[in-house]
Amino acid sequence: MELKGKIAAITGASGGIGEQLARLLVKEGATVVLLARREEELMRVRQEIGSACYVYKLDVSDEKMVADVFARISQEVGDVDILVNNAGFGIFKTFEEASLQEVKAMFSVNVFGLVACTKAVLPAMKKRSSGHIVNIASLAGKIATPKSSAYSATKHAVLAFSNSLRMELAISGIYVTAVNPGPIRTDFFNIADKSGTYVKSVERYMLRPEYVAACIVKAIKRNKREINLPRWMSVGPLMFALLPRVFEKLAGTALNKK
């Protein structure tokens, strides 16, 4: 895909992957729509990037707000060519410790928010027979780990949704990319891992958001169906699929360090 002149909407664009992705897409000549709940942070990002950015406050868990905001984007900026469903959060607790409210909140943002945003842009993409939807999932969606039962479940759902949608749109000219990163050095862990235990155990393996964003831009250009980051971590899901009992026995202790 040629990115110059395209309109790219990014949820969760107030920091981390979303912010870095916005910076790269603007350099590629795209017009970027920044979406997040923290409007003041969106304004900071726009000020730093320049005039090729539009800012809209959005809580993806609010279905009506999603519909209204994307309708405004279509009228005020234009139809979205690239949607990056990046908004999401996790809470690392055992299932027993996690409240039902926390579980519902993760599904509301990570799954139903992603679905609502996709629903909002898909009709116009189908009319034009072109578009690209990028869903930020996680390697946690391929390997469920201790203390992240609900979070892993949301990312399993994102992967299943992405795979099914990709097949439904196979001859439509619309592409769907699933991105499965490992741990990334962002504010995500301020909520997910308040104790700091998990961060300490995986700090040496943590990805930089700039690197992840660059990989996503390449995937959009090449219409890739899925990317796993870092690549060596994709060995884990393969081992889990082939030898689940052995994997759980060998890796269980390490994966429990959250």
Q: Which of 54, 151, 175, 198 is catalytic?
A: 151
Distance, CA of 224 to CA of 17 (rounded, Å): 18
Please provide residue 135's backbone torsions phi and psi, each rounded to the nearest 5 degrees: -110, 120
Distance, CA of 165 to CA of 176 (rounded, Å): 7
Tokens (6 digits) for 195: 């104790």
151 catalytically annotated: yes
Q: What is the 3-state secondary structure (H, E, C) of the chain?
A: CCCCCCEEEEECCCCHHHHHHHHHHHHCCCEEEEEECCHHHHHHHHHHHCCCEEEEECCCCCHHHHHHHHHHHHHHCCCCCEEEECCCCCCCCCCCCCCHHHHHHHHHHHHHHHHHHHHHHHHHHHHHCCEEEEEECCHHHCCCCCCCHHHHHHHHHHHHHHHHHHHHCCCCCEEEEEEEECCECCCHHHHHCCCCHHHHHHHHHCECHHHHHHHHHHHHHHCCCEEEECHHHHHHHHHHHHCHHHHHHHHHHHHCCC
Instruction: Give me the active site residues, please.
Output: 151
